[in-house]
Amino acid sequence: MRFRLRRAAASTVALLLCLLLCAPAAPAATRSSRYAAIDAYIQDRMKATHTPGLSYAVVGPDGPIHQRSWGTDGHGERITAGTPFLWGSVAKPIAASAVMVLVQDGRLRLDDRVVDHLPNFRFGGAAHASRVTARHLLHQTAGLPEAATLKVTDCFEADCPRPSERIGDLDDLRPLGPPGTEYAYTSANYLVLAALVESITGRSFADYLRQAVLDPANMDGAITDQASARKRNLPPGHQLLWGIPTAIADGVDDHGAGYGYLGGDLNDLAAFASFQLRAGRTADGDTVLTPESVRLMREEGRLQPNGTGTGHGLGWRVGGLDAPLDEAIWHTGATPGYSAMLFLLPKRNIAVVLQQNLYELLQDEAVMQVGFGAARLLADGRAPTSSASTSLYYWTIGGATTLAMALILTAGRSALLLRRPATPSSPLRRTVLTALWCLAGALPWIALAQVADRMGLGQLMNWVPDLFISVWVAAAAGAATIVLRLILAIRSARVGPRRPRSGRDEGLAAE
């Protein structure tokens, strides 16, 4: 009996020791295996999208837990955690954080009318503009249409207008509806916010952003303008030229830090994620964002009067994804040549940040899938089972290139015909053929007119350079085809119609 008791006691002690010593090993092994799965998934996506370089990190409240970098930058140098990237619209929750600091300081209220700080804001007319508030801009419910982005963003010149000087380009746009009743995601909202902040503080938005958020969050290497981009030696990003990633994208909007032209290295982006996981506190515990500000930023906006959710908080995208990311707080972003993603999983107290030096507008879903897949793997260990298609890009570029080549050949053939003697033809045949050739030559001009109306030719060059080149070459060849075919038709008409041969003519020809 005594032996059994000793053996039972020994077994109990051994079990307790095993639980104490072995239990931590299992979660660590699970984490290690999950990180390895994320690494493998990301590398597979890099191959699928031909991404030259990428850097990512799994982040906790105290900083990166796991991080990896692969590939090369636009200078041909190896990507490291210190390689700078641009973040695109991931800038929006950072900019919104700066706005909330103004609100906490009592210098701005969320329901302040924009016109009270920016009298030259006249979007939609005086009646509409006078009802737009800072909250509407943050929630993307000011009534600005998506197309507004292309009217006021992506200025890469050295003397680009300040935000307050650009908002006049919004005056003639038709609002989607009264403020607060319609949701439309557009960077124009955040350009107006930048103008609002500059009006209140008397400083550039980039300077205020650095003081209010970037420095407290330890984002010491953040890029906010052209000067800081040069200081960090920001390499060009990559865009596809007929399917080949090419380092040609090096534009930075000097006044675009509020809506997309913000960047930095992996440590900077991870620092913002950690700052958010600490609920707006610095690494030393100082409060930058109050709990109420954090709550408001992560609370989904509601449309009036029906209360429909917008999927957007104050700067953040809220939910809107399938489980296990249904409660994620997140944002993605892109500039020509760069893309970035940030996913907070507050209940797990963890985040994933990712940045890559490739972006292609016609492959947006395929390029961005890497971030969503990595976040899903981090949340539940399961990768997406399907991949986004890249067919839209190849069909569009292939079609435009084929049209350009066909019109070049057509123009060349038409030029050769001009060197031959004119041949008569019937008026009907001549008219029909000339009309068909002119219609073919006009196709790229019709396409250019559509693009100019929707996004502008400058923006087409910024975002899809190979399509821009193909369409312009097709347009030039089309114009040449039209001119040459009209000349051929006029020359043929002057020769006169072909005369039918008489019996005598046929007899003479036989002799």
pLDDT tens-digit series, residues 287-338: 999 999 999 999 999 999 999 999 999 999 998 999 999 999 999 999 999 9
Q: What is the pLDDT of residue 384?
A: 80
| Spatial distance between the Cα atoms of 273 and 90, rounded to a whole number of angstroms | 11
| Spatial distance between the Cα atoms of 284 and 61, rounded to a whole number of angstroms | 12
- String of b and e for 6-25 (b: at least 16 CB within 10 Å)? eeeeeeeeeeeeeeeeeeee
Tokens of 287: 């409060």
Tokens of 64: 């990166």
Q: What is the pLDDT of residue 148?
A: 93
Closest CA relative to residue 355, chosen from 444, 265, 481: 265
Q: What is the pLDDT of residue 406?
A: 94
Q: What is the pLDDT of residue 500?
A: 55
Place of tokens 């068909």: 436
Which residues of the chain fall short of a pLDDT of 50?
1-26, 504-511
Q: What is the pLDDT of residue 9?
A: 45
Instruction: Give CA torsion, residues 127, 128, 132, 137, to 10 deg.
Output: -160
| Burial class of residue 458 (count of CB atoms within 10 Å of its CB; 0-12, 13-18, 19+) | middle
Q: What is the pLDDT of residue 130?
A: 97
- Determine the residue type at 134: A
pLDDT tens-digit series, residues 170-222: 999 999 999 999 999 999 999 999 999 999 999 999 999 999 999 999 999 99
Q: What is the pLDDT of residue 28?
A: 67
Q: What is the pLDDT of residue 16?
A: 38
| Spatial distance between the Cα atoms of 93 and 299, rounded to a whole number of angstroms | 13
Place of tokens 């989904």: 300
| Spatial distance between the Cα atoms of 137 and 115, rounded to a whole number of angstroms | 12
Q: What is the pLDDT of residue 383?
A: 80
Tokens of 374: 């990595």
Q: What is the pLDDT of residue 501?
A: 53
Q: What is the pLDDT of residue 164?
A: 96
User: In 278-312, which ranges are continuous DSSP H helix?
Assistant: 291-297
Place of tokens 């000097």: 254
